[in-house]
Structure 1
Amino acid sequence: MAAALPLLLPSAAFAAVVGAPHAESVKLPVMPAVLAEGDPCTEASPRTVRAEPRYQRTLNLQQSWRFGRGSGVKVAVVDTGVATGTARLVGRVTPVSGDGDCVGHGSFLAGLVAAAPVSGTGFSGVAPQARILAVRGTDQRGTPTADTLAAGIRAAADAGAQVILVGPALARGSSGLTRAVEHAAKQDALVVAAAAPQLKSGTSPGPAKDYWPAAQLGVLSVLGTAEDGSVPDDTAVPRRADLAAPGSGVIGVGPRGKGHLIGNGSSLAAAFVAGAAALVRARYPDLSAAGTAERLVRNAYPADVPRMDVYAALSSSGSGRTDVAPPPAPARMPSYEATEAAVRRGTLLAGAGAATTGAVAWAALAVRARGRRSEDAAG
């Protein structure tokens, strides 16, 4: 069994977020990933951001929605649960396992995936017509284990999810977690997972390492980056990641009320990619889970970690990007003298697994450390 995830978002009760296109500074409560002992359930936020978040503009949702809004696609959120009354998701949440969401983190992720746009605020989910399957992959306080994540992934696949978002990132995997991902692949469900967990405030990231289930073959691994393309200080550093997406100063809705909260982390970036995967699967219903992942990676902005381009994934002819324009801020990985000197983009190897298992086997488009042995990079 993997060790429980002892990681939290920043401990400050409130953090500032600046909106766009016009300046708007609002103090928002921070969305926790795990509740400390004795903490009450996350309360409703009394504050709302009116302007469109800057990072959301880089996702280019308005243009992407010309191709559809994810109607008919089921996205499972395997995290702390999803409250059925989550704002902007009412009528589109189906409970699969767990009851409610005390922590609120799973509801926050679900909002990033599929929250419907409303007047008075520029915030929206990526696929606002997708359906959410609520799956608890942690205990009621938000602490995950390999066993709880494995059970959640299996339940999501069995419930018919076409995209499975896994928020927690564990320091160790397990054979049960591996088999759960393979089971999802047999059901043609794309597993999208955070490449790394959040750290307690002031904690050093330490050496780059693998986190699970993101490091597993067949999982689309996502790294959250700041507006300038860097990895935020409070994010652990993975050895590799397939895609980068906004993961710093992200606003969203909670499990109660209509106000906004703010959060950081690769799990939030993974939610954006899961929403994009829903848009792709709705637009290309005959495309497999592996094909969906390949399309998202192939059409991303080139960088140390390819940065997701939702519009290109929906509009390209299938042969990849036709432009070489850089993203607003190319995603990049930090250097650590204690470990690798630098990391670079790797190569996507997509393919099907053995017919006897039906598992989709496609190697991550890796961010690999310079000097790693070729057999490690291929694994």
Structure 2
Amino acid sequence: MRITRRVLAVAAASLVALAVPAATTPAAADEAPDQCTFPDKPYKGQPWSLQRVLLDELWKHATGKGVRVAVIDTGVDVKNRQLTQAVDTESGRNLLPKNLKDENGNKIERGKENGTTDSVGHGTKVAGIIAARPMKGTGFVGLAPEATIIPIQQNDAEGHGTAETLADAIRYATGPARADVISISQDTANAVEPTAELKQAVDEALAKKVVVVASAGNDGLGGHVKKTYPASYEEVLAVASSDRNNERAAFSQSGEFVDVAAPGVDMISTVPGGGHCSDNGTSFSAPYVTGVVALLKEKRPTWTPRQINAQIMQTAERPTTGHDRLVGWGVVDPVRALSEADKPIEQPVPGNDTAGQANPPSAIPLPLGETAQARATRLGTYVVVGSSVLVAVIAGGAVAVRDARRRARGEQGATS
């Protein structure tokens, strides 16, 4: 059962698609202009996703200190100065096969054994949203700026990861790596549940009181509703994407399994080598919530995964009085999740106390030197393989999504 990846853009910082499962390599997607390079320019302002949070108030409660977060992804590049001190390089691992080859049979450089090689850039972005350290010259910072990142490289641009190696990564995270939280920005395709070994690994993690956060997936255009895994597993915190208006991003997967939503459009984060760039997808919503989980783990270390998940869902900014299949219990409210963490609860309850409280910031220019035309063509990462390739962009404060089709040879895959 193969997790397929395909480079979508021209540059080394090209966007990728990841899928579980797929028997063959998917065909290439429409190419996007080079909007992100490794390294890239620093983002000098404060991203909109952080403007919606009173960070000083948030960090009065916790900063993530002492909390270990496993990022199971494409690796985390520690050459970015905001991540150098955030990453536990001794605990990191590269779980990719020893003899890597591309679809043409050419040898691929495997990277460092400690998981600190990231030629794709995806894992580095995920890690930054969680725990990037403050740095002069940029308003970007992780939501849990004192948490520790454990880089577990389990996939690459050529799709050498499998559902089995994902299970291995989870077991390594909860065993030798001593993770408190696991962040997974991967999902399955066509509502196909993967090998039982993956669920077993997730259940083992939960039994050890490790919180597992997973992206819901990006096959939401047109109202598609289907389960994705591991997000659909019981007690995994499934995260959808929201836009600046606290509404579901058009690409974001819908379903009853969605627990909560978080910003996922024009997400600024760290890139390999240094600097920042912008990206889209539930892949970047999941680490946003992971950062809040890390803060709660510091503040309430005895709480179970169920209790931490319930706290985040209960305090979210709700569009309705109860659960909604588009954004779950609502858009995560980091400050409220921490400030109201007095007594543990086992599950969220319906109520209108949070409905209508969303007060998103006005639109600001986010892309790093993009023209309006370039911005309108930028691809979100982890788009759908064999289905819709989604582009989520901001134009005049609203999100526009264009749908491009691409073909896949063999089985189809979905991504996050």
TM-score range, shorter chain: 0.7 to 0.9
Q: Find 2:187's aligned residue among 169, 172, 176.
A: 169
Counterpart in the other structure of 2:61: 67
Indicate yes or no: 2:335 matched with 1:311: yes
- Aligned counterparts of 1:46 and 1:36: Cα–Cα separation in 2: 29
Residues 53 and 43 of structure 1: CA distance in aligned 2, closer, same or farther (over 3 Å): closer
SS of alignment partner, residue 93 of structure 1: coil
- Aligned counterparts of 2:126 and 2:160: Cα–Cα separation in 1: 16
Residues 227 and 290 of structure 1: CA distance in aligned 2, closer, same or farther (over 3 Å): same
Counterpart in the other structure of 1:48: 42
Structure 1 gap segments, 5+ residues each: 15-28, 330-379
Contact preservation (8 Å) 1:5, 1:170: no
- Between the two structures, name the one with larger relative contact order (CA 8 Å, sep ≥ 6): 2
Amino acid paired to 2:93: S
Amino acid paired to 2:296: V
Counterpart in the other structure of 1:230: 247
Counterpart in the other structure of 1:283: 299
- Aligned counterparts of 1:86 and 1:183: Cα–Cα separation in 2: 33
Counterpart in the other structure of 1:377: none
Counterpart in the other structure of 1:156: 173
Question: Which whole-Å deviations, capped at 9, do the CAs of 1:202-251 have from their partners, x for residues lacking one?
Answer: xx557311111001112000001221233334444445310100001001
Amino acid paired to 2:135: V
Residues 33 and 121 of structure 1: CA distance in aligned 2, closer, same or farther (over 3 Å): farther
Name the Cα RMSD after superposition. Answer: 3.1
Instruction: Using structure 2 for the length normalisation, give the TM-score.
Output: 0.67
- Aligned counterparts of 2:354 and 2:165: Cα–Cα separation in 1: 43
SS of alignment partner, residue 81 of structure 2: coil
- Report the alpha carbon displacement of residue 5 of structure 1 after superposing the two structures with TM: 4.4
Q: Find 1:247's aligned residue among 264, 272, 277.
A: 264
Give 1:208-357 correspondences, 5 Å limit.
Answer: 208-256=225-273, 258-303=274-319, 304=324, 305=327, 306-316=330-340, 317-318=342-343, 326-328=357-359
Q: Find 1:185's aligned residue among 184, 199, 206.
A: 206
Residues 300 and 182 of structure 1: CA distance in aligned 2, closer, same or farther (over 3 Å): same
Q: How many residues were matched structurally?
A: 307
Q: Which moved more, 1:212-221 or 1:131-140?
A: 131-140
Indicate yes or no: 2:111 matched with 1:112: no
Amino acid paired to 2:283: S
- Aligned counterparts of 2:310 and 2:228: Cα–Cα separation in 1: 21
Counterpart in the other structure of 1:77: 71
Counterpart in the other structure of 1:369: none
Question: Which whole-Å deviations, capped at 9, do the CAs of 1:90-144 have from their partners, x for residues lacking one?
Answer: 1331243213212110111000000011121111100000000111232464564
Counterpart in the other structure of 1:339: none
SS of alignment partner, residue 64 of structure 2: coil
- Aligned counterparts of 2:337 and 2:134: Cα–Cα separation in 1: 22
Counterpart in the other structure of 2:3: 4
Residues 234 and 110 of structure 1: CA distance in aligned 2, closer, same or farther (over 3 Å): same
Q: Percent identity, please.
A: 30
Amino acid paired to 2:118: D
Counterpart in the other structure of 2:93: 97
- Aligned counterparts of 1:139 and 1:323: Cα–Cα separation in 2: 40
Residues 47 and 33 of structure 1: CA distance in aligned 2, closer, same or farther (over 3 Å): farther
SS of alignment partner, residue 169 of structure 1: coil
Contact preservation (8 Å) 1:53, 1:122: yes
Contact preservation (8 Å) 1:114, 1:126: yes
Residues 265 and 7 of structure 1: CA distance in aligned 2, closer, same or farther (over 3 Å): farther
Contact preservation (8 Å) 1:195, 1:211: yes
- The runs of at least 4 consecutive aligned structure 1 residues that moved more than 6 Å come to 35-40, 319-322
Contact preservation (8 Å) 2:77, 2:83: no
Amino acid paired to 2:292: A
Question: Which whole-Å deviations, capped at 9, do the CAs of 1:254-291 have from their partners, x for residues lacking one?
Answer: 121x2111111111000010010000111112222222
Contact preservation (8 Å) 2:4, 2:26: no
Indicate yes or no: 2:103 matched with 1:86: no
- Report the alpha carbon displacement of residue 4 of structure 1 after superposing the two structures with TM: 3.0
Residues 323 and 230 of structure 1: CA distance in aligned 2, closer, same or farther (over 3 Å): closer
- Aligned counterparts of 1:323 and 1:230: Cα–Cα separation in 2: 14
- Report the alpha carbon displacement of residue 156 of structure 1 after superposing the two structures with TM: 0.9
Contact preservation (8 Å) 1:168, 1:197: no
Question: Which whole-Å deviations, capped at 9, do the CAs of 1:49-84 have from their partners, x for residues lacking one?
Answer: 211112211133222011121000000001111123
- Aligned counterparts of 1:139 and 1:7: Cα–Cα separation in 2: 9
Amino acid paired to 2:183: L
Structure 2 gap segments, 5+ residues each: 19-24, 95-111, 361-416
Contact preservation (8 Å) 2:6, 2:16: no
Contact preservation (8 Å) 1:7, 1:198: no
